[in-house]
Structure 1
Amino acid sequence: MSEYGEKIAAETLRIERLLPGPIERLWQYLVDSDRRREWLAAGELVESGGAPLELVFRNNDLSQSDDRAPEKYAHIGDEARLHCHIIDCEAPRQLTLAWGDADGAASQVCFELAPQGDQVLLVVTHSRLDSRREMISVAAGWHSHLGILEARLRGQVPPSFWAEHTRVEAEYEQRLEQ
């Protein structure tokens, strides 16, 4: 399994990670605001289809280094808010979100969890991406956020979010064909 995401359809990215279990622990990192804030974004989540969710990203604070957003992302480095809603929630196996505006035009993110011995396979599928540029940015974002999640689950110091994001964004530029 590659740590890199792959384009599985014209508008869809899929990324997989084999992470320390058990599945219930990893589920908490998806649905509990305090746990999710450690690797992605805070926001109170109600485990019910149709429920709203506001994600509050503070990417500059995800790692211990003095990590600052590169110029093109400076406007979202300190804080960015994303209004989402729950499409489907089947604890502890699947969580699907309308990612962004809730008028039906949002992209969608599906988190799927499957036990693999004492580990858990996490599959993140982000669909309805409307451009190559968006897919590259999203791929680098998920790659970097999941790297921080993995470090936290393993009790390690997480990598620098923005340094990793910058590095893998350049790689995804090459990896994701036109």
Structure 2
Amino acid sequence: MSGREGRLTVDGERAVLTFERRLPFPIEAVWSAITDPDERGQWFGATTIDAREGGSIEMVATGPPLPDDRKKMTGRILVWDPPHVLEHEWRQPIVENGVVRYELRAEGDATVLRFTHRGLSVRNATGFRGGTAAYLDRLGAHLSGAPLPEWSNSRD
């Protein structure tokens, strides 16, 4: 496991962020939280998804406190394999174009989520690391019905 704060790996001028979280919920519940626009909107941000390989995804994250047009993420869905893999492009004005991947593996009554974001510069990956950990904390809270931590409070 890569720990709560994830792992940053450098490959030339680009970096990869990798997080693994063991979530005590069935794989279908985790898949739904990640891919259902209504659920995703509760813990991550307003989302629209054309749920298929080749479809599109758009999202405006709840944080950071930037104008929506700066933090709006768009992309094409590269892998759609319910309930195991969602991979999509991550195009956002504040960072380099990249790819994010959610891989889910059932482990008993729980699910192991492996999240990767590749294609970022080392500087931006370092900056995204805390925010990504915070949003994964929010995902866990959403699944358990707990109050969502503010994305910025989880970063310290």
| TM-score normalized by the length of structure 2 | 0.86
Counting aligned pairs with the same residue, the percent is 28
Aligned-pair distance for 1:41? 2.1
- Give the distance between the partners of 1:57 and 1:160, measured in 2 at CA: 12
- Give the distance between the partners of 2:29 and 2:136, measured in 1 at CA: 15
* 2:118 paired with 1:134: no
Contact 1:21–1:120 (CA under 8 A) maintained in structure 2: yes
**1:37-76 matches, cutoff 5 A:** 37-59=41-63, 73-76=64-67
* 2:150 paired with 1:160: yes
- Give the distance between the partners of 1:79 and 1:35, measured in 2 at CA: 23
Aligned-pair distance for 1:106? 2.1
Higher-Rg structure is 1
Aligned-pair distance for 1:79? 8.1
**1:12-161 matches, cutoff 5 A:** 12-59=16-63, 73-76=64-67, 80-100=71-91, 106-130=97-121, 132-161=122-151
Secondary structure, counterpart of 1:44 in structure 2: strand
Secondary structure, counterpart of 2:47 in structure 1: coil
- Kindly provide the amino acid, as one letter, of the partner of residue 42 in structure 2: E
| TM-score normalized by the length of structure 1 | 0.76
Assess, with a 3 A threshold, how the Cα gap between structure 1 residues 163 and 77 changes in structure 2: closer, same or farther.
farther
**1:3-14 matches, cutoff 5 A:** 3-10=4-11, 11-14=15-18
Task: Give 5+ residue unaligned stretches, structure 2.
Answer: none
Deviations 1:85-131 (A, max 9, x none): 10111000000010016xxx72000000000111100000111112x
Deviations 1:51-73 (A, max 9, x none): 122112223xxxxxxxxxxxxx5
Runs of at least 4 residues of structure 1 off by over 6 A?
Answer: none
- Give the distance between the partners of 2:70 and 2:140, measured in 1 at CA: 22
> What is the CA RMSD across the aligned residues, in angstroms?
2.0
Structure whose residues are more often helix by fraction: 1
Assess, with a 3 A threshold, how the Cα gap between structure 1 residues 151 and 116 changes in structure 2: closer, same or farther.
same
Aligned-pair distance for 1:77? 7.7
Contact 1:112–1:124 (CA under 8 A) maintained in structure 2: yes
